[in-house]
Amino acid sequence: MSADALLEVRDLVMHFPVRGGVLNRVQRRVHAVNGVSFDVRRGEVLGVVGESGCGKSTLGKCLIRLLSPTAGSIRYEGTDLAALGHGDLMPFRKKMQMVFQDPYSSLNPRMTVREAVREVALFHGVVSRDAADAYVSELIQKVGLRADAADKFPHEFSGGQRQRIGIARALACKPDLLVADEPVSALDVSIQAQVLNLLMDLKDELGLTVVFVSHDLKVIEHFCDRVLVMYLGNVVEELDCERLHADARHPYTRALLGANPINDPADRRPLTVLEGDVPSPFTLPPGCAFAGRCPVVEPRCRAQRPPLELKTCGHAVACLLEPGA
Amino acid sequence: MSATRTKAVLEVRHLTTGFKTDRGVVTAVDDVSFDLYPGETLGVVGESGCGKTVTSKSIMRLLPEHLTIYGPASEVRFEGENLAFASEERMRRVRGDKVAMIFQEPMTSLNPVFTVGWQLDEALRYHTDLDARGRRQRAIEMLRLVEIPEPERRVDEYPHQLSGGMRQRVMIAMALCCEPDVLIADEPTTALDVTIQAQILQLMANLKERLSTAIMLITHDLGVVAQVCDRVLVMYAGRVIESGTVAEIFHAPRHPYTRALLDSIPKSGARAHKKRLPTIPGIVPSLFELPAGCRFQDRCAYKERRCVDAEPGLEGALGGRQVRCHFPLDGGAA
Ligand SMILES: Nc1ncnc2c1ncn2[C@@H]1O[C@H](COP(=O)(O)OP(=O)(O)O)[C@@H](O)[C@H]1O
Ligand SMILES: Nc1ncnc2c1ncn2[C@@H]1O[C@H](COP(=O)(O)OP(=O)(O)O)[C@@H](O)[C@H]1O
Ligand SMILES: [Mg+2]
Ligand SMILES: [Mg+2]
């Protein structure tokens, strides 16, 4: 166990049974997360990137036990959350909170901002009833909303402001870990920049650890310390964001980088186009999940699933074609 | 610029679109003019609510007629003919023949109760004189062209049986079926992964290459604009506030809004890593509360007295470099 790990995730698996037929039996399983291992270090921002359906949200929900994983362990300061039942989880709930892409759907339309934030703070007992109002007002200002926002309803706010409400609510119980699932994906770049700056400030001020899920490599690269690149429920590469462009080695990571349009008309290049479709999550191929779309695939890739191997310090790649450390 | 300045295929002049609401009439698009040339891609950018979709739907006349008021000076000329006040029957003929449109949400233009093949067939029946067998052949070819796997099988499937990316490609196939002179693409890749986005942008580039189709590409992804557009129109609160070539807009923006929008994009590289991003404070003003002067004044770092007193006009020649600002930036590198 590394000393600075807040979360140690090992061989995490999440399969969703799909029921059907007259007897409502489990007919098949969605292999959403297929055995991933990594650490979330205290105080870092860990990015998770990959195409839609690759299991990012499922992974995020497993981390904070909104879902019960099918197998594997999630150690939080030594305690395996995956093994805990509902009651034993309670003390951990307030340590870990989630921010969603669409805060609107997670906010009760009939509750004012004040009520929504206070509810969380009181439920987790981080503040007394008497002190709650002052606490909520402070938090509302901290996320950059005006004081008079407290008594308004969610529909009275713009998308960016709603995301601030979602963040205030998540922070109300003073968590250590924030899992932010596509928190800026629905926002215009101008507003996205406001929310990213806010998250950066709050992270520094409150000493948060953040798992930041996004399908947007530009945002991940800017905002995160390290990134996990996911493909069909697997982590295919793990590396420092500062070295993403220079060092990415997995053909999938390279393809993602190559498909991302660069913001400079003087630097035009053909965007990387991947042939083929993502395999079905119901039946995983025996070898590398990316083999069907990989531009450098070899026959052995279809026979053997490549493990995620450390190549150099802090850089792990799951590809048979990559030489070891 | 790749477009040879022959003759514009689409000329929009003084396009003004208002909506009747229960709080009175709001003007969502205000005196917008531009030309679109064969073989060029014109990017239209701006934050949500700036009037990009209303502009494109006004051109196609796809807005609810009973709620929409077009300014009397509005002109939408296709090959010389003004369609701004043309009959619905005439518009039906134009849509999908001269002009095709792709939307962000493919389900709004695909009919859920008919198969993909049926919908392609309808377009082909209207625009070609192929017989039934010929049309089916053409439909399958089009699906193959947009890289739908197993087109012979997919042609008989319903929209809901396809993934989001595939539906988007079917809609593009429908748009392409009629080999339009003009393609209006409104956020065609916004909800899609970059990998699918790359495929769709490539299809559009092929179309432009093969048929000299003029493309109006509405997007809020400035990276996409940088990579595929020839010229750019920047909109703010219903107004065109800047236009120019893609190089001019990205390398020498003159409106503070354009500059701020470009600055707020996360940059790659160590120098920008984990640094605070420049932001544009506040949000786009509501159409009900537009200020008297410049519409960007409340968010502008360079606001002066004059900006509050009078709205600046759009300076510069149509089709060239235009900017709507009392104190335009000198256009230094961003
Ligand atoms: N509750 C669920 N039941 C069944 N399948 C699910 C459920 N949640 C997610 N999935 C499936 O799991 C896979 C991963 O989904 P998700 O984690 O949402 O991916 P991402 O967030 O990367 O887009 C997808 O195939 C998705 O359809
Ligand atoms: N039917 C309508 N009635 C009233 N206002 C509308 C209607 N349709 C669009 N609007 C308004 O017009 C403005 C421009 O919208 P839109 O063109 O969709 O923006 P964009 O596509 O740039 O995000 C917005 O303020 C929107 O609320
Ligand atoms: Mg998700
Ligand atoms: Mg729009």
Helix/strand/coil (H/E/C) assignment for every residue in A163-207: HHHHHHHHHCCCCCEEEEECCCCCCCHHHHHHHHHHHHHHHHHHC
Closest chain A residue to the Cα of B226, Cα to Cα = A265
Q: Among B262, B267, B270, whose Cβ lies nearest the Cβ of A242?
A: B270
Name which of B279, B286, B289 to mutate to probe chain A: the one with the most chain A Cβ atoms within 10 A of its Cβ.
Answer: B279
Report phi then psi at B17, rounded to 5. Answer: -125, 120
DSSP secondary structure string for all residues of B140-153:
HHHHHHTT-SSHHH
Number of residues written out for chain A: 325
Distance B51 CA to ligand 2 centre (A): 6
Distances (CA, A) of A290 to A3, A275, A306, A324, B194: 34, 11, 10, 19, 16
> Averaged over B221-226, what is the pLDDT?
95
Contact between B199 and A215 using a beta-carbon 8 Å cutoff: no
Name every residue whose Cβ is closer than 8 Å to that of residue B48 and which is 6 or more positions away in sequence.
A159, A188, B220, B284
Which residues in chain B belong to E strands, given as ranges?
A: 10-21, 24-36, 41-45, 68-70, 75-78, 81-82, 99-102, 182-186, 214-218, 231-236, 239-245, 322-323
Reported as half-sphere exposure (CB side, CA atoms, 13 A), residue B294 has a value of 27
∠ CA B107-B112-B115, nearest 5°, is 115
Contact between B279 and A265 using a beta-carbon 8 Å cutoff: no
Give the number of other Cβ atoms within 10 Å of residue A52's Cβ. 16
Distance B49 CA to ligand 4 centre (A): 7
Q: Which residues on neighbouring strands pair with residue A209, listed in sequence order?
A: A177
> Token pair of A92, please?
């951990």
pLDDT at B275: 87
Euclidean distance between CA atoms B31 and B70, whole angstroms? 10
What percent of chain B is modeled with pLDDT above 70?
96
Distances (CA, A) of A126 to A36, A91, A167, A206, B30: 33, 12, 16, 15, 52
Euclidean distance between CA atoms B76 and B84, whole angstroms? 5
pLDDT digits 0-9 by tens, A34-79 = 999 999 999 999 999 999 899 999 999 999 999 999 999 999 988 9
pLDDT at B106 over 80: no
Secondary structure element (H or E) that encloses residue B204, with its range: helix B194-211
Name every residue whose Cβ is closer than 8 Å to that of residue A3 and which is 6 or more positions away in sequence.
none
Distances (CA, A) of B38 to B2, B10, B96, B234: 10, 9, 17, 21
pLDDT at B292: 94
Pick the closest to residue B187 from B125, B106, B253 (CA basis). B106
CB A174 within 8 A of CB A49: no
Which DSSP letter does residue B76 get? E
pLDDT digits 0-9 by tens, A105-154 = 778 899 999 999 999 999 999 999 999 999 999 999 999 999 899 999 99
Name which of B47, B168, B194, B299 to mutate to probe chain A: the one with the most chain A Cβ atoms within 10 A of its Cβ.
Answer: B194
CB B256 within 8 A of CB B304: no
Euclidean distance between CA atoms B160 and B60, whole angstroms? 26
- Mean of the per-residue pLDDT values for chain B? 90
Closest chain B residue to the Cα of A214, Cα to Cα = B193
List residues, by chain if needed, whose CB lies under 5 Å from ion ligand 3.
A 57
Euclidean distance between CA atoms B273 and A190, whole angstroms? 18
> If pLDDT is split at 50, 70 and 90, which confidence band does B1 have?
very low
Do strands A71-76 and A5-20 pair parallel, antiparallel, or not at all (unpaired)? antiparallel
Contact between B193 and A221 using a beta-carbon 8 Å cutoff: no
> If pLDDT is split at 50, 70 and 90, which confidence band does B268 have?
confident
* pTM of the shown model: 0.92
Atom of ligand 1 nearest to the CA of A55: 17
Q: Tell me the residue type at A285.
A: P
Pick the closest to residue A284 from A13, A56, A65, A82 (CA basis). A13
Domains, chain A, ordered by start: 5-95+175-317 (3.40.50.300)
CB A147 within 8 A of CB A140: yes
- Mean of the per-residue pLDDT values for chain A? 93
Our answer on whether the CB atom of A53 is closer than 6 Å to any ligand 1 atom is yes
What percent of chain A is modeled with pLDDT above 90?
80
Pick the closest to residue A182 from A108, A99, A63 (CA basis). A99
pLDDT at B108: 65
Do strands B41-45 and B231-236 pair parallel, antiparallel, or not at all (unpaired)? parallel
Instruction: Note the ipTM here.
Output: 0.90
CB B283 within 8 A of CB A160: yes
CB A121 within 8 A of CB A173: yes
Distances (CA, A) of B212 to A196, A200, B33, B209: 41, 46, 22, 6
